[in-house]
Homo-oligomer: A and B are copies of this chain.
């Protein structure tokens, strides 16, 4: 009998964790991804704000899984799943599976305002990050050449929509770029006059953190000169700027860090989904009625052992991937399934700028320099590849000591 074939779609935190945990299992594993690299998304905002280069936070999937002889990597875009025939349709072929793990992640949601996307790009892919970097750096260039005070103010106004970790980190990093790295670069403008506005519709930033850390993050942002506006949603978003509630604000650069929507997995499976499009799955992350199909990470709406929904975080996806691999290994060996999944929360963190961050470990809450050092250590240690760890550490050290940032390139279609 042929060995069973496990297909994993998506090489993000969840898919890669499952693939790694299936190395050496008695099955053929195929990992399908649209891109040839695994991206360390928590540091993507540093690419968007010219602190790091794309290659420092991305590793080729083939290189990561090189030693797993039973794991194949396939570059391709999945367009659908046939649950009855047990096949996955790619652009140019169809592959069969015995077991299917969907770890396809999330994309942005503009809450019904898809027309906002072209003016307010989100931050999920490397190409998003280099596009946002281009917009931010070009705005300063345009301000330097602007011929009226109004035009200059508009170019020097940056709006970040969404007060979660990505929004907070983006706003802090843009403010720091303007006040520190670009400080002496211009002749007609003072980049320190840039106005960075962080808009959050809810009552506070970092809503997933305890209120005391939200307040600390807000103070740190304000110390960097970021204007924090909570409690009012954005009601308009176009090439001229935004309207916050009823209040118009002229801004040339808008970054979207607000809504998240699951990928198309629910549509492929014709499955029941939650409000943001995630597939409702059972306690072992399998699809009800289809024990051979699993959804993990941002693709799935799953409950923890205590009945609370699991949050959309990298550690959750990783632990789910490893768990599904254990479930599969048990089934392949005709052994009883593993103990029910329980998310082990090692804490969450967000950084705001030079020597400012917040960290929540449950039993202890930190802010300031100590949280910032911890944030750096944890993020470097989770990067894949010793080279990336070393080079990112050197880059950060360098930026810290010299007040310079390393990757201030305007590249891509807009650069002529």
- Which of A74, A77, A391 gathers most chain B CB within 10 Å? A391
Tell me the chain A residues, 385-416 only, with Cβ under 8 Å from chain B.
387, 390-391, 394-395, 398, 402, 404, 406-413, 415-416
Tell me the chain A residues, 59-108 only, with Cβ under 8 Å from chain B.
60, 62-63, 66, 72-77, 92-93
Closest to A147 in B: B93
Is A58 part of the contact surface with B, judged by Cβ < 8 Å? yes
What's the Cα separation between A58 and B407 when bound, in Å? 8
How many copies of this chain does the complex contain?
2
Give chain B nearest CB distance to A363 CB in angstroms: 39
Is A34 part of the contact surface with B, judged by Cβ < 8 Å? yes
Is A187 part of the contact surface with B, judged by Cβ < 8 Å? yes
Once the chains bind, are B409 and A54 in contact (CB under 8 Å)?
yes
Is A127 part of the contact surface with B, judged by Cβ < 8 Å? yes
Once the chains bind, are A55 and B409 in contact (CB under 8 Å)?
yes
Q: Note all chain B residues with C-beta closer than 8 A to A394.
A: 390-391, 394
What's the Cα separation between A93 and B408 when bound, in Å? 25
Q: Note all chain B residues with C-beta closer than 8 A to A354.
A: none
Give chain B nearest CB distance to A62 CB in angstroms: 4
Is A37 part of the contact surface with B, judged by Cβ < 8 Å? yes
- The residue from B58, B130, B408, B415 contacting A63, defined by CB atoms under 8 A apart: B408
A411 with B54: in contact, given A74-B145, A145-B75, A391-B395 (CB under 8 Å)?
Answer: yes
What's the Cα separation between A395 and B386 when bound, in Å? 11
Q: Note all chain B residues with C-beta closer than 8 A to A407.
A: 53-55
Is A56 part of the contact surface with B, judged by Cβ < 8 Å? yes
Q: Note all chain B residues with C-beta closer than 8 A to A62.
A: 182, 185-186
Closest to A35 in B: B415
Once the chains bind, are B404 and A63 in contact (CB under 8 Å)?
yes
Is A137 part of the contact surface with B, judged by Cβ < 8 Å? yes
A56 with B54: in contact, given A37-B410, A126-B409 (CB under 8 Å)?
Answer: no
A55 with B145: in contact, given A62-B186, A66-B185, A412-B127 (CB under 8 Å)?
Answer: no
What's the Cα separation between A56 and B387 when bound, in Å? 15
Is A109 part of the contact surface with B, judged by Cβ < 8 Å? no
Q: Note all chain B residues with C-beta closer than 8 A to A76.
A: 145
Closest to A127 in B: B411
Is A348 part of the contact surface with B, judged by Cβ < 8 Å? no
Q: Give me 8 A-to-B residue pairs in the complex whose CB atoms sit less than 8 angstroms apart, sorted by A's number.
A: A35-B415, A53-B54, A60-B185, A63-B185, A63-B404, A75-B410, A92-B145, A390-B394
The 8 A-B residue pairs whose C-beta atoms are closest, nearest first, are A55-B407, A62-B185, A53-B53, A75-B141, A53-B55, A60-B408, A36-B410, A34-B416
